[in-house]
Every structure is written in structure tokens, then in C-alpha cells.
Amino acid sequence: MSRIAYVNGSYVPLREASVHVEDRGYQFADGVYEVVALRGNRLVDAQGHFDRLWRSMNELSIDPPMTEQAMRLVIDQLVRRNRLPNALIYIQVTRGVAARDFKFPKANPAGSESALVITVRPAKLDHSQQLRDGVRVVTTPDLRWKRRDIKSVALLPQVLAKQKAAEAGAFEAWMVDDDGFITEGSSSNAWILTRDAKLITRQATNMILKGVTRTSLLRFAEEQGITIEERAFTPDEAYQAVEAFVSSATTFLL
Ligand code: PMP
């Protein structure tokens, strides 16, 4: 069965799904995105992802292409049409199609010109073997801009970081800032548990993406009475730690 994507108002077979060559997402990475896990036909942490998507759009003055309620209905339709109980939902909003000019295109009085693409990809969300065996991580300099709190589609530094990890046979790359502190993984947040049982993850400022899974894990840890420190840590501290792990919507916790 062909996978179905949603592109600017239409449900289309994935192989026919396409966007305009002058889409600003394509030309300028002028767009934002979210990845939401679907487990057993249920969206995980959906509200957190919608809230962050709206925040990302707002920070970049991108008009929402529709209401959150309408987007939930589109996703519901896509999930039905794709019949994949375990999947990753990819949502991308760009500033739309316009003649190539850095400045924002003039607002369309008829309504939003933002472009919306949503795809559903089958995913093996069972990571039990990796959980048992552990995964390898390399470090790499963090080459990104200073608004990492926005989930922008400008991902070239993360592409390079993940490629470096893959070439080293590792699962993830932890990016290191100019002061020698780990910021986060190329597509995950970074955590350690110290010998004195403190759970450490970097504070959510503009220097990292505030992971939705991170927020949930912090809540669980608090409920368990675990001591939490939201602060930056170094690769050396990670070596000294009793545990080190990553979190994201795709991996949950590894
Ligand atoms: N940091 C970065 C840079 C990411 O790309 C991701 C994945 N979206 C995360 C952290 C984890 O965020 P979440 O738990 O919301 O998936």
C-alpha cells in the first residue's frame, strides 16, 4: 500500500508529493518542523509538540497554516489512511512560495501563505536491544546558530554531526560549545547520572532545543524524588558518570 502524505491541502501518494522550487523552506531553510511518535495508534506527548511548533512559528513570524485543531484532524486522517500503528509523524511548516528574496514576502490579505507538509513514516519504536546493549556517542564541536530553541529545518550542522557519528560507528553525536560544555545531541537531548545520584541535563535556554521528551522525563524524575540539576556538563563529567543517555521523541530514552 502506498504511503499517503498531506501537502498544502491535499492527501497524495508519497511518490507524487512535491513542493514548489521557490518554497522558502527549500531555498532558505525558512521553516520549522516537529516529529511526533505514534505508538499503538496514539500520539505521544502531542500537546507538547503542538505547543512547540506554534512557539517556533511565532518566534519566526511564520503564520500558522491552520489551527491546531484542524492540524490534529489532518493527522488523524493521515494515520487512518496510512494504517501504521507505530510511526513517526513529520510536520513541516515553511514561509511558503515566493520569488527568491531574503525579506519576508508581503502578507497575503486572503490568508496564510505558509506551506504545510505532513508525512507518516513507519518506525520501529522498540529499542529494547539498544537499551540492553547501550549505544555509542561521539563528541563534535557545536557549529549551530544561537536560536537552537527554535525547531528550524536548518539542520546542516546536525547533518554533519550525525554523519560523523555514523562514520565512527556511533549512534549519536554530542555537540560541544566553545566553552567545552555539551549542548545536546544532534537530534536528542543529553543526560548524565552522577555518582552521587544527581540527574543532570542542560538548562533549556536558546542554546538547546527544549525537548518534549526531556520535559516529560524531568517530570517523571521529579515524581520519583530524583535530584535534578539543570546545568551544562562536560565530556569529562560524562566519562565519570554512572549513566549517560539521550532522549527524543524517536528514541524516547537510550
Ligand atoms: N535536541 C535536538 C537538536 C533535536 O533535534 C531533538 C529532536 N527533536 C531533541 C533535542 C529532542 O526533542 P524531542 O524530545 O522533543 O524529540
Identify which of 72, 95, 105 has the alpha carbon closest to the alpha carbon of residue 20: 95
C-alpha distances (whole Å) from 204 to each of 113, 171, 194, 222 are: 31, 23, 20, 17
Q: Across the beta sheet with 243-248, what order do the strands follow?
A: 227-230, 198-201, 189-193, 243-248, 252-253
Give pLDDT tens digits for 119-178: 999 998 899 999 999 999 999 999 999 999 999 999 999 999 999 999 999 999 999 999
User: DSSP assignment, residue 135?
Assistant: -
Per-residue pLDDT 10s for the chain (254 aa) are 689 999 999 999 999 999 999 999 999 999 999 999 999 999 999 999 999 999 999 999 999 999 999 999 999 999 999 999 999 999 999 999 999 999 999 766 666 699 999 999 999 889 999 999 999 999 999 999 999 999 999 999 999 999 999 999 999 999 999 999 999 999 999 999 999 999 999 999 999 999 999 999 999 999 999 999 999 999 999 999 999 999 999 999 99
Is the shortest distance between the CB of 188 and ligand 1 below 6 Å? yes
Ligand 1 centroid – CA 218 distance (Å): 14
Give pLDDT tens digits for 84-95: 999 999 999 999
User: DSSP assignment, residue 168?
Assistant: T
Name the residue at shortest CA distance from atom 4 of ligand 1: 187
Ligand 1 centroid – CA 74 distance (Å): 23
Q: Ligand 1 pocket test: which of 248, 252, 253 has the largest number of ligand atoms within 8 Å of its C-beta? A: 248
Q: Provide, rounded to the nearest whole percent, the portion of the chain with pLDDT above 90.
A: 96
Is the shortest distance between the CB of 184 and ligand 1 below 6 Å? yes
